[in-house]
Structure 1
Amino acid sequence: MSGSRLVDVVLDEASIARSTPDVEHDRAVAIYDLIEENSFQPVGKPADNYVLRLSVIEKKLVFEIKRENGETVVTHVLSLTPLRKIVKDYDLICESYYEAIRHATPSQIEAIDMGRRGVHNEGSSVLMERLEGKIEVDMVTARRLFTLVYALHWKG
């Protein structure tokens, strides 16, 4: 994956509804962090700077990949079914976490956060498996992509 990376990530506005400030913040941070540090290589394509447009169309996750100059490289369409339960679990634990931040003790917050990270890692691993043979990503990149998939998948 030498030299190949994402230089921009665009979320399809039609796939997203306004969300809570906490989710909006997580989304913005995930995009910023993803662009700052990532490992992203479309399989069979040369090392390059890539732009990723993520959307959900008819309950399918769409990865539209272009070169920095706008030239389309490849589009991958993935079923969301393998991620559905994990995203639902993640949504529930995030609600608990955001509520805990406001009212719980530090040890309670830490316990909920550990659970949240565990579910996030599980979702990231499933996403890496779904991308296998299509796009090579490392775990750090997969975690940030999972945050964005979560933001797209549960749009209100």
Structure 2
Amino acid sequence: MADNRIAEIALDESTVLKRADEVEREREAALRDLAEGSSFVPLRAAAAGHCGPWSLHLSVPEGRLALRLRDGKGADAGTIGLGLTRFRRVVREYFAICDSYYKALRKASAQELETLDMARRAIHDRATRQLLEALEGKVETDFATARRLFTLICVLHIRG
């Protein structure tokens, strides 16, 4: 039986200078959650005989998301590329609402925080649906896995 999960994931850190503590916590949580439970089948790699668990290296060369894959035996299983133009707006919206949320943590009421958190989750969910559409025909995955991958895409967009 195939092991269709992400066992290991790494981010290209070469373009990132420094991240806020909140962002680091989100990154760590996404990485941990993906390693603990994910559903991931890269269709072209699987059709070529590669089997998981999968190791991924995420980078954003020239404005494109690159998911470099290694199979369960450590062999190169190809790279999946996605244009990120379609995510530009939702990433900006997500950054803006996260910034508002983190600033509000210091002084807002519980109701205001709840409203901001609901907005943050709604934007994140919309972006996750966009990511699932972009991955269609390339990767079979579930909503929870795509949601965590979107978090990591956001982390890769942060520049200093």
Q: Which category describes the TM-score, using the shorter chain as reference length? A: over 0.9
Residue of structure 1 aligned with 2:139, choices 135, 138, 145: 135
How many percent of aligned residue pairs carry the same amino acid?
40
TM (normalized to structure 1)? 0.95
1:70 to 71, 74, 94: 74
Shift in Å at residue 68 of structure 1? 3.4
* Contact 2:10 2:57 survives alignment (8 Å): yes
Moved runs in structure 1, 4+ residues, more than 2 A?
A: none
Quick check: 1:15–1:55 contact (8 Å CA) kept in 2?
A: no
Match of 2:112 in 1: 108
Aligned pair partner of 1:146 in 143, 147, 150: 150
Instruction: Please tell me the root mean square deviation across aligned C-alpha atoms, in Å.
Output: 1.4
8 Å contact from structure 1 (residues 10, 53) kept in 2:
yes
The CA distance in 2 between the partners of 1:43 and 1:102, in whole Å, is 45
Distance 1:70 1:16, change over 3 A: farther
User: What secondary structure is seen at the aligned counterpart in 2 of 1:107?
Assistant: helix
TM-score normalised over the length of structure 2: 0.92
Which residue of structure 2 lines up, in the alignment, with residue 57 of structure 1?
61
Partner of 1:42: 42
| Greater CA drift, 14-23 or 128-137 | 14-23
How many pairs are equivalent?
Answer: 156
User: Any idea what SS the aligned residue of 1:16 has?
Assistant: coil
CA distance in 1, matches of 2:64, 2:38: 24
Q: Which residue in the other structure is 1:4 paired with?
A: 4
Q: Which amino acid aligns with 2:38?
A: N
Using the TM superposition, give the Cα deviation of residue 99 of structure 1 relative to its aligned residue in structure 2, in angstroms: 0.9
Contact 2:69 2:78 in 1 (8 A): yes
Cα distance in 2, alignment partners of residues 16 and 74 from structure 1? 24
Deviations 1:102-148 (A, max 9, x none): 11111000000000000000111111111111111100001000000
Q: Structure 2 regions of 5+ residues with no counterpart?
A: none
CA contact (8 A) 2:51 2:72 kept: no
Instruction: Please tell me whether the aligned partners of residues 15 and 56 of structure 1 are also in contact (alpha carbons under 8 angstroms).
Output: no
Q: State whether residues 15 and 155 of structure 1, in contact with CA within 8 Å, keep that contact through their aligned partners in structure 2.
A: yes
Q: 1:121 aligns with which of 114, 119, 125?
A: 125
Q: Is the 8 A contact 1:17 1:155 kept in 2?
A: yes
The residue type paired with residue 27 of structure 1 is: R
